[in-house]
């Protein structure tokens, strides 16, 4: 009987088979390393890397049709050699998760050592929008506000300009170093904020410098002592000024990519140093309209452009992007805020009216 050792270390759902043949030759067959670089591949990703080490010469083959969007750079390799095989793929504009299926096998012992695996690409981009969602180029408000946005070839924001009555409130230019995975944001042509990112192109925890920081913060004590999950998106300036949102959800698992999630409650807080100047406790109900059908998070227009965090509007902190567009947001001690949404044929937002008491603002979206 042949002695066969099949070892497998995977993060991509492959399976290995072992078998015995009726002679006395001894050999090793199997894959001590078979893993992808990334756990998730987002709709606007165009590559991943498969790490391979095999005891014998190996080959790859497709096991189903429909996965032609995913193309390995090589399909075979030698024994006892570490390989980093680039898988190139197109952006996923289907609006649905998709998979490409493969089998890797030991060429000399194909019946004894092989593994089936799939490369899966998510329905959503790194910012939480669907891969087929159109890119918002302009938002014009009846309050005199104007938001202008441009993007690169993988749907990441390049420029963001927010003005009101011809006065510029925010002017941001984004740069991406994909060799070092560093994002740079230049503010008003001067100061720069930086962040590391993974393949979702989102800041890892925070974006900032010594004078300004936008950060994702878990509410650690609350999460340890309650069954729900809470976090903050905080924007702090070097002069002590701060603003931020707190989100309460059923569980952290709702924030996994492609999962549907809507916060149970929200809190907006602003102030300076230890002084709180404004706190709004809010309880939203949600419409049937999908907030993933355009590139920006339209819920961030809830409190008007003056209190709109541009990084959250661009959904650079995906966890804060509720899946559904608000319907009515009840505000403790204040009148309700009501959303009225008109959609385009592709379900993206055409017009959004945000009304509180007798005041309303209508935002018109251009793609």
Residue 18 clears pLDDT 90, i.e. is over it: no
CB 282 within 8 A of CB 327: no
If we measure between CA atoms, which residue out of 190, 268, 264, 204 comes closest to residue 235?
Answer: 268
If we measure between CA atoms, which residue out of 129, 131, 61 comes closest to residue 100?
Answer: 61
- Distance of alpha carbon 263 from the chain centroid: 17
pLDDT band per the 50, 70, 90 thresholds, residue 10: very low
Residue-wise pLDDT for 48-96, tens only, equals 999 999 999 999 999 999 999 999 999 999 999 999 999 999 999 999 9
Residue-wise pLDDT for 94-122, tens only, equals 999 999 999 999 999 999 899 999 999 99
User: How far apart (Å, rounded) are the C-alpha atoms in residues 356 and 361?
Assistant: 9
Region at 6 (left for phi over 0; alpha for psi -120 to 50; beta for the rest): beta
Low-confidence winner among 14-23, 218-227, 292-301 (lowest mean pLDDT): 14-23
Task: Identify the pLDDT of residue 28.
Answer: 84
Across 134-158, average pLDDT: 98
Task: Identify the pLDDT of residue 189.
Answer: 87
Task: Identify the pLDDT of residue 185.
Answer: 97
Across 265-270, average pLDDT: 97
Task: Identify the pLDDT of residue 27.
Answer: 76
pLDDT band per the 50, 70, 90 thresholds, residue 25: low
3-state helix, strand, coil in the chain (%, to 5): 5, 50, 45
Residue 153 clears pLDDT 70, i.e. is over it: yes
Q: What letter does residue 260 receive in the DSSP assignment?
A: -
User: How far apart (Å, rounded) are the C-alpha atoms in residues 254 and 318?
Assistant: 12
pTM of the model: 0.90
User: How far apart (Å, rounded) are the C-alpha atoms in residues 299 and 320?
Assistant: 10
Sign of the alpha-carbon torsion through 264, 269, 273, 276: negative
């Amino acid at each position: 009987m042949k002695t066969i050792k099949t070892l497998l270390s995977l993060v991509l759902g492959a399976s290995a088979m072992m078998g015995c043949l009726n002679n006395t030759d001894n050999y090793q067959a199997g894959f001590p390393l078979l893993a992808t670089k990334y756990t998730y591949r987002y709709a606007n990703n165009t590559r991943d890397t498969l790490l391979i080490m095999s005891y014998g010469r190996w080959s790859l083959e497709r096991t189903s049709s429909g996965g032609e969007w995913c193309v390995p750079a090589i399909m075979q390799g030698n024994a006892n050699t570490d390989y980093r095989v680039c898988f190139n793929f197109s952006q996923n504009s289907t609006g649905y998760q998709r998979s490409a299926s493969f089998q890797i096998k030991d060429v000399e012992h194909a019946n004894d050592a092989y593994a089936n695996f799939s490369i899966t690409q998510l329905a959503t981009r790194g910012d939480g929008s669907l891969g087929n969602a159109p890119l918002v180029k302009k938002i014009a408000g009846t309050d005199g506000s104007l938001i202008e946005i441009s993007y690169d070839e993988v749907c990441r924001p390049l420029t963001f300009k927010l003005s009101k009555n011809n006065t510029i409130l925010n002017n941001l230019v984004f740069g991406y170093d994909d060799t070092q995975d560093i994002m740079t944001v230049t503010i008003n042509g001067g100061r720069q904020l930086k962040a590391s990112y993974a393949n979702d192109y989102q800041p890892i925890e925070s974006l900032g410098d010594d004078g300004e920081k936008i950060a994702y913060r878990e509410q650690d004590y609350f999460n340890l002592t309650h069954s729900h999950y809470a976090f903050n998106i905080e924007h702090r300036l070097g002069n002590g000024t701060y603003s931020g949102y707190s989100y309460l959800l059923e569980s952290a698992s709702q924030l996994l990519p492609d999962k549907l999630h809507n916060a149970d409650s929200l809190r907006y807080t602003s102030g300076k140093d230890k002084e709180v100047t404004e706190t709004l406790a809010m309880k939203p109900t949600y419409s049937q309209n999908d907030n993933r059908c355009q590139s920006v998070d339209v819920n961030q227009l809830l409190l008007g452009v003056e209190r709109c965090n541009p990084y959250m509007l661009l959904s650079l902190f995906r966890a804060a992007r509720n899946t559904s567009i608000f319907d009515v947001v009840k505000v403790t001690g204040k009148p309700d805020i009501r959303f009225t949404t008109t959609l385009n044929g592709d379900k993206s937002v055409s017009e959004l009216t945000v009304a509180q008491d007798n005041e309303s603002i209508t935002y018109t979206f251009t793609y």
